[in-house]
Every structure is written in C-alpha cells, then in structure tokens.
Amino acid sequence: MTGTVKPLSRDELTGSLRRLGVAGGDVVMVHASLRAVGPVEDGAAGVVRALDAAVGQTGTVMMTLGAREGGAPFDCHLTPADPEIGVLAEIFRQTPGTVVSDHPEGRFGARGRLAEALTSDAPWDDYYGPGSPLERLVEAQGRVLRLGADRDTVTLIHYAEYLADVPNKRRVVRQPRVRGAHGPQIRAVRCLDDSDGIVDYPGEDYFAQVLDAFLAAAASPRGVVGQARAELLDAATLVTFAARWMTDHFRAVRE
C-alpha cells in the first residue's frame, strides 16, 4: 500500500528556503514547479506565503507572469498569467499586494519593499533590456531562486542577450491587442527575438546550455526544497557569465 506524502506547512517550506540561503531583505526572482516541490498546505497560495516569509518584510519576491493570449485585450490588472508558466504565476498575480508591470509581453509581478521600483514604468520596446525589471533586479543585487523549474526557463538570461557582443541579433516586431484609453488598440512592440532566440544555435535551447555551464562554473547555494532540487543564483554574476558565454559561442558558430 502506497502512503501519501504529508503536505509541507508554510513554516516548513520557509525553513527549507532559509536553509538554502534565502534571507530576510533578499530580492529574489522565482522560477518554480509546484509538481517538483510536492504537496504544500494551501497549494500555490501556501508557496507564496512561504516565499513572503522567507524574505521578510524588507525583502521582495518577483516572478515572470506573461499573459494569456486570446480573448479580451491585454489589461495588466485583469489578464491572467500565461498558463505555460504554471499555476503559481497566476496565484502569485492574484494574491493581494502583488504589483504587476503594464506590458503584454514582458510582464512581471512583484511583492514586497521593492515591488514598485522593479515593475513600474517598464520600457515598451526591448522590455527585457536596459531599463527593464530584469536590469533593475541586477541593480538591486537580486538573486534567482529555482525550485525544480525546467532548465530553459531562467528569464534573466534574456537581459544577457542584450549585453552579449553578437552581431546581427535577430529582432522581431509584435502587435499585441491592448486596452487603451479609448478602447482596444493594436500597439507595435520591437525587441530581440525572445521566442526563437537571437541567433540559430545547435543543440538544445541555449538557455539550458548557459544554465548548465553556469552551475558547473559557479559556487551557487544548492539543496532540496520540498521534493525539488533548488538553486539560488546571484543575478549579476549570472548575467555577466551568460553574456560572455553567448559572445564566445555565438561568434564561434558564425565564423
């Protein structure tokens, strides 16, 4: 007979996050798989509360949200998070106190002391580049917390794409339908190609390759949170490493 796994309490999950290295006052961007973490009391809402408790009243938690496509025009306050990001993103978005950036493509949510500073007045074009919430995360000495998430989901690497010294990066123009002052409207968004990559590169998604190389080279805190393998990555160090990796590897492929 197979026994059931007892759900983690908020305090137990908070304790695991603290043992990993999350501390009061930290600024952390979270990528998490609820399935990997395992059962938690109150599900995704319990995870959000544990994250809040781990960083404390002076800390900040940030997540990428994206936006569900189709249906009504984009509204930062009403449009659900992209289902592909996972249930946690939508629960995070809905939790009272979460501040959400007003962008249909590069949409983030944040909670805590620096929530407004990270998400307000995000650039419309190149929304992952200079001036973006990702650059602000680096400037705030933030870290990336991975809890069993797929290896190709570290959104911060998109910022490194803007910094990499690579010629002829692929760019795109998108035309999202958004809610305007006088009703629905189409607005153009110009940015590096964050769907198919800034260049064609052989093998699996190069975000996964960058992460693997970084974890092999950097002494980042690692452990287990719930049932998930977890890593805590310094944002500035990761961006510098990723930009250099792309500069070296992408130039080699094109030569």
**Residue 139 DSSP class:** H
Amino acid letter, residue 218: A
pLDDT at site 2: 53
Q: How many residues does the chain have?
A: 255
Q: What is the pLDDT of residues 6-30, one digit of tens each?
A: 899 999 999 999 999 999 999 999 9
pLDDT at site 69: 85
The per-residue DSSP string of 170-200 comes to -EEEE--EEEETTEEEE--EEEE-TTT-SS-
User: What is the domain range of residue 80?
Assistant: 10-254
**Residue 254 DSSP class:** H
Query: Helix axis angle, 10-20 relative to 43-55, nearest 10°?
Result: 50
Residue 187 lies in a domain: yes
Residue 117 lies in a domain: yes
Where residue 254 falls among pLDDT bands split at 50, 70, 90? low
Residue 5 lies in a domain: no
Looking at every residue in the chain, the average pLDDT score rounds to 95
pLDDT at site 1: 43
- Judge whether 226 and 5 are in contact, CB under 8 Å: no
Question: Which whole-number Å values give the CA distances from 73 to 31, 80, 146, 174, 180, in the listed order?
Answer: 26, 11, 31, 14, 9
Q: What is the pLDDT of residues 80-93, one digit of tens each?
A: 999 999 999 999 99
Q: What is the mean pLDDT of residues 40-51?
A: 97
Residue 2 lies in a domain: no
Q: Which residue in 146, 142, 74 sits closest to 112, CA to CA?
A: 142
**Residue 85 DSSP class:** G
Residue 4 lies in a domain: no
Q: What is the pLDDT of residues 122-131, one digit of tens each?
A: 999 999 999 9
3-state secondary structure of 143: strand
Give the percent of the chain with pLDDT over 90.
91
Count: domains in the chain: 1
